Amino acid sequence: MNADGEADRHAQQPGTGASGARLRFARQARGFSQYQLARMARVSRQAVSAIEAGLSDPSLRVALTLSRALGLTVEELFGPAMPEPSVPVRALAPLGGEGSRVSLAPMGEDFVALPLSGATVTRAGFAPAGGRVSGPDQVIPLGPHRPTLLVAGCDPALPLLELPLSLLDPPVKFLWWPCASQEALSLAAGGLVHAAGAHLRDRSGDYNTGAAAQALRDGADVIGFSSWREGLVLWPEHAAQVGDVAAVVAAGLRLVNREPGAEARRVLDRELGRLGVSGHDLPGYDAVATGHLEVAAAIAAGLADAGVASEPAALAYGLAFAPLTAERFDLVIPAGLTGTREVQGLLRVLSSSWLLGQLASLPGYDVTACGERIASLPPA
């Protein structure tokens, strides 16, 4: 018996396992449930389920209606399996040579690739790959294309978004590109990420709205995520004698710095400027760690004595902390992406009790403004 109770001797009958998996991948890639696809194709949900499970072959009519609903030909959906061709990508960083593993995120009509090698492995570990590099700016996808929220920024709590996004119906995949606030805004302005995480102090003393308005000339929404204190992270034995940057300079402590464009580096430079001291004259000023946790890790490992990072990073490593300022970390969403499935999923999970509870459980985090619309920035 064929799916939906229909038989057609002329219908192509490929191996049900391969065609069923292809149907499931195509449906999930478009964010449809079995019930939604069945309604679009005017077949029963049980028919879709049976084909995907390899328990039934589709009749010609069912194959045609399913293919049309998914925007594919019958040959593409149920014909012999063909190697998936390469797709052109825009890369957040050099992708490496042929065969290198990358994460892959659809962005409108384009694909964005994140390298999974070198320093990126240190940041993310051996994450599942979305494709393999096949040539300059070309990637062979591994598996179906799925709705994927791509966020850039330095808050190590951002990966907490992954679980609630995966539980949405339909689910949204999550990818994080750890980087400094200024780089994150540049990536958002270039259409390479859905949201940029930033904690950049404006001239007015407020956070992020001025920097976001300057970077995203077509407008943006600024949504709260978390707040924390930024300050000196110290090896505990220095805590009694060191309470500010002046004491770090006087004691000749070895620094570990953040990369240019990071607010932590700007905080350090502001403090040094008040003292009339050039950072390049200090030991370790040019030693760069790309993240709050990385600063704390360098100090915990004895590679440096002090650095500027968030209080939660210091607490995570059991290090001493001397506050310099209070900061707000926001998510900046380009105006043209607000209505996308990925961003709508983000806005839903930001107010979820699970996420708020997880963030609140992290020592040093304030989640009062999480999910709050801080500002809607008009086009310049």
* pLDDT value of position 125: 59
Domain boundary, last residue among 53, 78, 103: 78
Token duo for residue 107: 């962005």
Domain boundary, last residue among 145, 172, 196: 145
Using alpha carbons, select from 227, 230, 207 the residue that is nearest to residue 313. 230
* pLDDT value of position 80: 72
Asked if residue 101 and residue 67 are part of one domain, the reply reads no
Asked if residue 152 and residue 141 are part of one domain, the reply reads no
In the chain, how many domains are there?
Answer: 3
Residue ranges of alpha helices (H) inside the chain are 16-29, 34-41, 45-52, 60-70, 74-78, 119-124, 162-166, 181-189, 209-215, 245-251, 263-275, 292-300, 311-316, 341-350, 353-360
Tens-digit pLDDT profile for the chain (380 aa)? Answer: 444 443 333 333 433 456 788 898 888 878 889 999 999 999 999 999 999 888 888 888 999 999 999 988 888 888 876 555 788 999 998 888 888 999 999 998 889 999 987 655 555 557 778 889 998 999 988 877 789 999 999 999 999 999 999 999 889 999 999 999 999 999 999 999 999 999 999 888 889 999 999 999 999 999 999 999 999 999 888 888 899 999 999 999 999 999 999 999 999 999 999 999 999 999 999 999 989 999 999 999 999 999 999 999 999 999 999 999 999 999 999 999 999 999 999 999 999 999 999 999 999 999 999 999 999 999 98
* pLDDT value of position 122: 54
Instruction: Give pTM, 2 decimals.
Output: 0.76
Asked if residue 206 and residue 126 are part of one domain, the reply reads no
Domain boundary, last residue among 49, 78, 107: 78
Q: What residues make up the domain containing 195?
A: 147-380
Asked if residue 200 and residue 334 are part of one domain, the reply reads yes
Burial classification of residue 177, based on how many CB atoms lie within 10 Å of its CB (0-12 exposed, 13-18 middle, 19 or more buried): buried
Asked if residue 95 and residue 74 are part of one domain, the reply reads no
Asked if residue 156 and residue 135 are part of one domain, the reply reads no
Asked if residue 365 and residue 299 are part of one domain, the reply reads yes
Measured CA to CA, the distance from residue 171 to residue 259 in angstroms comes to 34
Asked if residue 203 and residue 133 are part of one domain, the reply reads no
* pLDDT value of position 83: 57
Asked if residue 299 and residue 358 are part of one domain, the reply reads yes
Asked if residue 287 and residue 250 are part of one domain, the reply reads yes
Asked if residue 40 and residue 179 are part of one domain, the reply reads no
User: Is the CB of residue 216 less than 8 Å from the CB of residue 335?
Assistant: yes
Asked if residue 131 and residue 176 are part of one domain, the reply reads no
Instruction: Note the residue count of the chain.
Output: 380
CATH code for the domain in which residue 59 is found: 1.10.260.40
Measured CA to CA, the distance from residue 187 to residue 303 in angstroms comes to 31
Neighbouring C-beta atoms of residue 369, cutoff 10 Å: 16
User: Is the CB of residue 335 less than 8 Å from the CB of residue 220?
Assistant: yes
Token duo for residue 35: 């019930």
* pLDDT value of position 163: 95
